[in-house]
């Protein structure tokens, strides 16, 4: 019966995300919520946005019921409320661009509220100084990385599946099932977002996915602190691309908070790669580098820090080499790729 119930929740998450993504296409066309091509965008035709609302609803419906018997009700309530806060701000921003400060305030509130509830008990409150910035960063980095068809949905599927396996390895079956719900919701949305995308995730989806990955990662950490290292390895590709791109823009005196096309995945598309090829490249990193190193960090917990540092150093070197090659290609090759 437990296996059948688990399958039912996973199918429900997939169906909710898929059906609402399809409904969001009609809604976005009706309201004129279209991302139009431009020099700061990587698509060529006007495309509806906001399809990530299906992922949000799937999580709000399924996750609380999955976790009801294994995690405190206060934690589940804060998880739902904070996800709803991030999603509402994203939904409003998809309809009408909001100023940075109100969005940041809500993100800090959500990260701080959930982290405070998670830490209640034996954990030191000093962890708030790390968890709150991590939560805000996760929300924004996943928003930064949602710039081409299917990329964020596939990354969410990979990370959620990896975190589910980590939780399962420690006997936290409820948390593992909740993470599987996120994976299935991401898969349901991907059906409509795979290249060529019929709808984009929008801020309502990208911010909410970033929030969910942060919150679930923190819950895995609370289950077993040693699991934080393999959990961080799973997100290495996105963290390094978003982080080093942001740092590079700051060092070069650019408006780092403005929209741009300077992430490696965007440069790859600008130089002629398809969205599917770029997404496949990130997935290859995940399976060839991130997954094996995460597994080693689980098997050899005493080496977790070193393995995590190794993963990020490798990702940083790959970023530097790719960026140098992509930015400094000859004009002739650039024109040929753009054509």
Could you report the per-residue pLDDT of 139-156, keeping only the tens digit for each?
A: 999 999 998 999 999 999
User: What pLDDT, on a 0 to 100 scale, did the predictor assign at position 35?
Assistant: 79
| Banded model confidence at residue 253, pLDDT cuts 50, 70, 90 | confident
CB 189 within 8 A of CB 205: yes
CB 183 within 8 A of CB 155: no
Place of tokens 């040693």: 226
User: pTM, whole model, 2 decimals?
Assistant: 0.93
User: What pLDDT, on a 0 to 100 scale, did the predictor assign at position 333?
Assistant: 44
- Is 275 strand, coil or helix? helix
Residue 7 predicted with pLDDT over 90: yes
pLDDT in tens, 16-47: 999 999 999 999 999 988 877 766 666 668 88
CB 217 within 8 A of CB 231: yes
User: What pLDDT, on a 0 to 100 scale, did the predictor assign at position 134?
Assistant: 97
| Banded model confidence at residue 285, pLDDT cuts 50, 70, 90 | very high
Q: Tokens for 314?
A: 């490798």
Please compute the mean of the pLDDT values over residues 292-314 and round it to a whole number.
97
The percentage of the chain sitting over the pLDDT mark of 70, rounded to a whole number, equals 94
User: What pLDDT, on a 0 to 100 scale, did the predictor assign at position 330?
Assistant: 42
User: What pLDDT, on a 0 to 100 scale, did the predictor assign at position 3?
Assistant: 82
User: What pLDDT, on a 0 to 100 scale, did the predictor assign at position 5?
Assistant: 85
User: What pLDDT, on a 0 to 100 scale, did the predictor assign at position 125?
Assistant: 84
Q: CA-CA distance, 53 to 274, in Å (whole number)?
A: 26
Q: CA-CA distance, 106 to 100, in Å (whole number)?
A: 10
Residue 128 predicted with pLDDT over 90: yes
How many other CB atoms are found less than 10 A from the CB of residue 22?
17
Residue 260 predicted with pLDDT over 90: no
User: What pLDDT, on a 0 to 100 scale, did the predictor assign at position 63?
Assistant: 96
pLDDT in tens, 168-189: 999 999 999 999 999 999 999 9
Least confident stretch, 52-66, 90-104, 197-211, 250-264: 250-264
User: What pLDDT, on a 0 to 100 scale, did the predictor assign at position 180?
Assistant: 98
Please compute the mean of the pLDDT values over residues 304-314 and round it to a whole number.
97
Q: Residue 170: in which H helix or E strand, if any?
A: none
CB 82 within 8 A of CB 37: no
Of 51, 48, 67, 47, the C-alpha closest to 17 is: 51
Q: Residue 47: in which H helix or E strand, if any?
A: strand 47-48
User: What pLDDT, on a 0 to 100 scale, did the predictor assign at position 43?
Assistant: 63
User: What pLDDT, on a 0 to 100 scale, did the predictor assign at position 90?
Assistant: 96
Task: Please give the radius of gyration of the chain, using alpha carbons only, rounded to the nearest integer.
Answer: 19
User: What pLDDT, on a 0 to 100 scale, did the predictor assign at position 243?
Assistant: 95
Mean per-residue pLDDT over the chain, rounded: 91
Q: How far is CA 227 from CA 37, 195, 239, in A?
A: 41, 34, 18
User: What pLDDT, on a 0 to 100 scale, did the predictor assign at position 1?
Assistant: 54
How many other CB atoms are found less than 10 A from the CB of residue 44?
8
Q: Tokens for 119?
A: 């830490």
Q: CA-CA distance, 214 to 287, in Å (whole number)?
A: 21
| Banded model confidence at residue 69, pLDDT cuts 50, 70, 90 | confident
- Is 146 strand, coil or helix? coil
- Diameter over CA atoms, the chain: 63
User: What pLDDT, on a 0 to 100 scale, did the predictor assign at position 39?
Assistant: 61
Place of tokens 């939780």: 167
SS (H, E, C) 203-256: HHHHHHHHHHHHHHHHHHHHHCHHHHHHHHHHCHHHHHHHHHHHHHHHHCCCCC
Which DSSP category does 39 fall into? T
């Amino acid at each position: 019966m437990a296996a059948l119930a688990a399958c039912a929740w996973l199918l429900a998450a997939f169906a909710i995300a898929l059906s609402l993504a399809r409904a969001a296409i009609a809604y976005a066309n009706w309201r004129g919520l279209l991302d139009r091509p431009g020099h700061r965008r990587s698509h060529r035709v006007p495309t509806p946005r906001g399809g990530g609302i299906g992922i949000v609803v799937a999580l709000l419906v399924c996750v609380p019921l999955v976790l009801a018997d294994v995690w405190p009700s206060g934690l589940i309530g804060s998880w739902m409320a904070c996800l709803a806060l991030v999603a509402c701000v994203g939904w409003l921003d998809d309809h009408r661009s909001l100023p940075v400060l109100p969005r940041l305030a809500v993100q800090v509130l959500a990260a701080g509220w959930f982290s405070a509830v998670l830490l209640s008990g034996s954990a030191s409150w000093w962890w708030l100084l790390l968890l709150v910035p991590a939560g805000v960063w996760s929300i924004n980095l996943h928003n930064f990385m949602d710039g081409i068809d299917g990329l964020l949905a596939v990354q969410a599927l990979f990370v959620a599946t990896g975190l589910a396996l980590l939780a399962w390895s420690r006997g936290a079956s409820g948390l593992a099932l909740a993470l599987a719900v996120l994976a299935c919701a991401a898969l349901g949305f991907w059906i409509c977002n795979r290249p060529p995308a019929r709808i984009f995730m929008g801020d309502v989806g990208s911010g909410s996915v970033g929030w969910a990955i942060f919150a679930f990662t923190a819950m895995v950490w609370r289950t077993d602190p040693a699991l934080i290292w393999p959990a961080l390895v799973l997100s290495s590709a996105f963290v390094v691309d978003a982080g080093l791109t942001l740092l590079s823009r700051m060092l070069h005196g650019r408006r780092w908070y403005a929209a741009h096309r300077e992430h490696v995945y965007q440069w790859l598309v600008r130089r002629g790669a398809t969205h599917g090829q770029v997404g496949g490249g990130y997935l290859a990193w995940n399976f060839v580098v991130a997954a094996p190193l995460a597994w080693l960090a689980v098997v050899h917990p005493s080496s977790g820090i070193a393995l995590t540092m190794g993963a990020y150093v490798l990702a940083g070197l790959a970023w530097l080499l790719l960026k140098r090659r992509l930015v400094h290609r000859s004009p002739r090759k650039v024109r040929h790729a753009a054509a």
